[in-house]
Structure 1
């Protein structure tokens, strides 16, 4: 079964882009390219936590609202959030109003500070779980991996919440720790090139 579809320019893209028109821009310009910016990494793992049980389209449509509500996902600011902020967020119609998830990402902000204090950056720690490309299955045939299980276990041991292995795998796909663009997707080679020139944080 083919994993690609023609994009607006006639070139092949990952099949999941057909789910929503806005996915093409996200796919072409963000998904699968390596990221070493701690704030972007933290934002993504938060949004993946909110996505749990929902569609990415729902989250992507509300991303700017999430950014406004959560201080741009600056984890140093989010770590200051208190019970009043939780109630404020529960009243914000622009985001997913799920108490458990809201409290989880606020908790994770404080855990992110601890991780940075210990490891130097979120990026350095996360990228230490980068899979060996030769061990990866065919693109878009898996929803977890040994590495996503390991990173999930590590984060949960550190007190992070809503970071199961499926959530972490989606995070790893999106942040370029693996190149999961479909074989035949026009962006697979671009992602591979960016990964090749990327300096892995340490």
Structure 2
């Protein structure tokens, strides 16, 4: 369509555009993907998303492609090795968060049937399509991300503040926050 322009944040690199076009805002209920995105969003805290995308394969290698059960069972020495040699952001709390989040994800899966069912319950298992015209209108957090953040913290998750959770919800497609001018917005697909 003429006049359509992708979301401005995706214009910074080929990798960012690829992520924007093929993943961001597309609903996913795949437990492993959701777990990966939760941890990558947490790893991004204080950094740029492009830094994390550039290290994504390193994260996948270090953390068993984000298999929840394998991450929950990671011993201390394996986490220490990642801290010293992994192609990831070398931040002890963020590295340890993957195992901690895996254990918490296992617990919610026991209660809800899956990690995905737990996350998507907050939107009644439906995508929420927003209609932002400008990047400045997109919030950094909202009421739902605050509620989810509090609930996840109570359940033992870490690096799950409301801003991180809002970004996570955008990433996994609970929110379609593509600008209305973007060809990837639900109404333009």
Q: TM-score, normalised by structure 1?
A: 0.84
Q: Distance in 1 between matches of 2:82 and 2:159?
A: 18
SS of 1:90's equivalent? helix
**Residue of structure 2 aligned with 1:138, choices 120, 126, 132:** 132
Q: Distance in 2 between matches of 1:137 and 1:153?
A: 27
Q: Distance in 2 between matches of 1:156 and 1:113?
A: 14
**Runs of 5+ unmatched residues, structure 1:** 1-9, 194-202
Q: How does 1:183-198 map to 2 (within 5 A)?
A: 183-189=180-186
The answer as to whether partners of 2:176 and 2:186 remain within 8 angstroms in 1 is no
**Residue of structure 1 aligned with 2:13, choices 15, 20, 38:** 20
SS of 2:6's equivalent? strand
Q: Distance in 1 between matches of 2:104 and 2:34?
A: 14
Q: Give a deviation string over 1:163-197, Cα, whole Å, max 9, x none.
A: 0000000000111101100111011036x86xxxx
- The aligned counterpart of 1:76 is 69
The answer as to whether partners of 1:130 and 1:178 remain within 8 angstroms in 2 is no
Quick check: 39-48 or 100-109, which moved more? 100-109
SS of 2:107's equivalent? helix
Q: How does 1:98-109 map to 2 (within 5 A)?
A: 98-109=91-102
Aligned residues: CA RMSD: 2.1
SS of 1:128's equivalent? helix
Q: TM-score, normalised by structure 2?
A: 0.90
Tell me whether 1:38 sits opposite 2:31 in the alignment.
Answer: yes
Q: What is the Cα deviation at residue 161 of structure 1?
A: 0.6
Structure 1 moving runs of 4+ over 6 Å? none
